Amino acid sequence: MSNREIAAYFKTLADLLEIKGDNPFRIRAYRNAARTIETSGYDFVHLVQEGEDLSKLPDIGERIAQKITEIVTTGKLGKLEKLKKEFPPGILDLLRIEGIGPKRARILYEALGIGSLEDLKKAAEAGKIRELPGFSEKLEAKILKGVSLYKKEGIRFLYADAEPRARDLEAYLRRCDAIDRITIAGSFRRRKETVGDLDILITSDDPLGAMDHFTAYPVIKEIVSKGPTRSTVILENNLQVDLRRVDNRSYGAALHYFTGSKAHNIAIRKMAQERGWKVNEYGVYDGKMLPIAGEDEAGIYRLFGMEYIEPELREDRGELEAAREGRLPTLVDPEEIRGDLHCYSDFGLGRDSCEALVKKALDLGYAYLAITDRLDHLTCAHGRKCAPLEEYLETLDTLQKRYSDLTILKGAEVPIDEEGRLLDGGAELERFDLVIASADESLGLDREEQTRRHLAALAHPAVKILAHPSGRIISRRNAFDMDLRRIIEAAVEHRVLLEIDARPERLDLNDAHILQAHKLGARFALGSVAAGADEMERIHYGLYQARRGWLQSEDLANTWKIEHLLN
């Protein structure tokens, strides 16, 4: 169990208590504990197993320590189970909708008895929500949009939420003597931003032993089916896992088939038919049904006279033609990343000092790091201790002197107002090495206004990167209504890099937009958008998205030398 998963229990507990109207101090204590656990460098499962005294850690008291132990050892939290029973089962789904937090969920539940997305949709359609305290007609419309978006995309897991669980399960399966080879296939192998379920392939000479081991995995909620060639289970976090046992001589064909995507498979099958062959999950067969490939995956592509196609590209978006013609991209590799171009320190939204970020960048082997606090947090705009801007710039200069192995870029994220002006708060933007323009959602703007606002900002000479360009949040918020093509063209013209925001719920631009923008000549920049040193590690989620968008190192600024980047 990962720290993130353990923290999720406390977040859910806090959410439900808040909907219930419980003591705010207790709620805050659980939220703080969740944050400590999630951002801790320690592995909590390990701490529990070693019998460490957890209550020595910040924000972890005696009782929270007990709860962590309960979660780690049983996979459950009794208090949470009990609390869940006090509400309709769909109540937590409300929180997945953009614009609804626990406070508003409480109002919806108390005033109108809304306990599911179905209830929410009905009430919004009937115009009942706008009247509630703290709501409005606009918010009601946004909620309605949010519900339909959520329903359309279904209940999928963010890749980043599935990944720790998948890796743990994989490691668990590897410990079994009855299991030989293991691969997690499906959308997970293609590193899609969300996954519906996990598809695992194994080989085994002892199928019953292998399946017994699988179904004994500690955090299973339900065994849906169990058999010698296939078993399906549902984990405590509702993630479904299909495990299939295949023969060694079919392993490559099965891997290919179950990696997908379905569209890619169908395109391959068509190519086979044109040659009078047949492809399925057992192998490739000639006209006389004799096997001609199947043991290894690369062999299947070779058989068709193609280069090996990386799983990230298998979406039937032209990869088969490219592979046939030998012009597949050399996808950008994690080792090529030289730096992070978007993160926050405790001068702004971040939790950690600039120095902590610098140290982390060195740990990650980076050559450079841009610290990019929001300019409105650095100038007087937020009623904070007035204008830490000078101190920010000085701090970064001082750190640069102390840490000569890393180039520290003095960055700023600058909000774009509704007209497309950069909110510079009176600061001179030339004082920064790197300016990131960032548009928040502006509900009032129509398509043309939203587009123009972006075009105006892109024309500003100081702007180097456009943050999270589409504005979407996975399963929560659609992309801004604007002409993205024109915005991409303007970015190309003004040599502004388009960001790939690596936050797991953002991953913005997405793969399809990256492909489109790349064809139009755009270049890209990855940012972890970390609010703490530990979050800088999540840059790889953005890298996966870049790979799904066919990017090579020359397309991605983070792989460039600093001189090239700055000019």
Q: Which residues bind ligand DGT (CB under 6 A)?
A: 186-187, 192, 195-197, 199, 257-258, 260-262, 265-266
DSSP structural state of residue 440: P
State how far Cα 368 lies from the chain centre.
Answer: 23
Interface map 462-501 toward Ca ion (x if CB under 5 A): ----------------------------------------
**Cβ distance to ligand DGT smaller for residue 149 or 482:** 149
State how far Cα 348 lies from the chain centre.
Answer: 23
Please choose which of ligand DGT, Ca ion, none residue 260 contacts, taking the beta carbon within 5 to 8 angstroms, the exact cut-off set by kind.
ligand DGT
Q: Using CA atoms, how far apart are residues 352 and 344, in angstroms rounded to an integer?
A: 8
**Cβ distance to ligand DGT smaller for residue 323 or 422:** 323
Instruction: Find the shortest distance in angstroms from Cβ 199 to ligand DGT.
Output: 5
Nearest to 239 by CA among 207, 281, 200, 181: 200
Please choose which of ligand DGT, Ca ion, none residue 265 contacts, taking the beta carbon within 5 to 8 angstroms, the exact cut-off set by kind.
ligand DGT
Instruction: Find the shortest distance in angstroms from Cβ 333 to ligand DGT.
Output: 24
Please choose which of Ca ion, ligand DGT, none residue 319 contacts, taking the beta carbon within 5 to 8 angstroms, the exact cut-off set by kind.
none
Q: Using CA atoms, how far apart are residues 509 and 527, in angstroms rounded to an integer?
A: 11
Instruction: Find the shortest distance in angstroms from Cβ 157 to ligand DGT.
Output: 8
Helix (H, G, I), strand (E, B) or coil at 311: helix
Instruction: Find the shortest distance in angstroms from Cβ 266 to ligand DGT.
Output: 5
Candidates 38, 163, 242, 319: give the one binding Ca ion (CB under 5 A). 242
Please choose which of ligand DGT, Ca ion, none residue 258 contacts, taking the beta carbon within 5 to 8 angstroms, the exact cut-off set by kind.
ligand DGT
∠ CA 224-227-229, rounded to 5°: 120
∠ CA 503-567-545, rounded to 5°: 25
User: HSE-up of 407 (CA within 13 Å, CB side)?
Assistant: 15
- Tell me if 372 sits within 8 A of 413, measured CB to CB: yes
State how far Cα 153 lies from the chain centre.
Answer: 15
Instruction: Find the shortest distance in angstroms from Cβ 258 to ligand DGT.
Output: 5
Please choose which of Ca ion, ligand DGT, none residue 262 contacts, taking the beta carbon within 5 to 8 angstroms, the exact cut-off set by kind.
ligand DGT
DSSP structural state of residue 430: G
Buried-state track 455-478, b at ≥16 Cβ within 10 A, e below 16:
bbbbebebbbbbbbbbbbbbbbbe
Report which residue's Cβ sits closest to Ca ion. 186
- Residue 186 binds Ca ion, judged by CB under 5 A: yes
Distances (CA, A) of 279 to 93, 276, 317: 41, 10, 20
Give the interface segment with Ca ion, choosing from 66-74, 178-186, 329-337, 464-472 (CB under 5 A). Answer: 178-186
Neighbours of 556 (CB within 10 A): 24
- Residue 281 binds Ca ion, judged by CB under 5 A: no
**Cβ distance to Ca ion smaller for residue 199 or 297:** 199
- Residue 163 binds Ca ion, judged by CB under 5 A: no
Instruction: Find the shortest distance in angstroms from Cβ 208 to Ca ion.
Output: 22
**Cβ distance to ligand DGT smaller for residue 77 or 239:** 239
- Tell me if 327 sits within 8 A of 321, measured CB to CB: no
**Cβ distance to ligand DGT smaller for residue 208 or 263:** 263
- In this structure, the strands spanning 463-466 and 497-501 are parallel
Candidates 43, 52, 168, 197: give the one binding Ca ion (CB under 5 A). 197
Please choose which of ligand DGT, Ca ion, none residue 257 contacts, taking the beta carbon within 5 to 8 angstroms, the exact cut-off set by kind.
ligand DGT
Instruction: Find the shortest distance in angstroms from Cβ 311 to ligand DGT.
Output: 10
Please choose which of Ca ion, ligand DGT, none residue 266 contacts, taking the beta carbon within 5 to 8 angstroms, the exact cut-off set by kind.
ligand DGT
Burial of 335 (0-12, 13-18, 19+ CB in 10 A): exposed
- Residue 315 binds Ca ion, judged by CB under 5 A: no
Candidates 199, 297, 310, 501: give the one binding Ca ion (CB under 5 A). 199
Distances (CA, A) of 438 to 53, 137, 369, 463: 43, 27, 19, 10
**Cβ distance to ligand DGT smaller for residue 67 or 314:** 314
Q: Which spans of this chain sit near Ca ion (rule: CB under 5 A)?
A: 186-187, 197, 199, 242
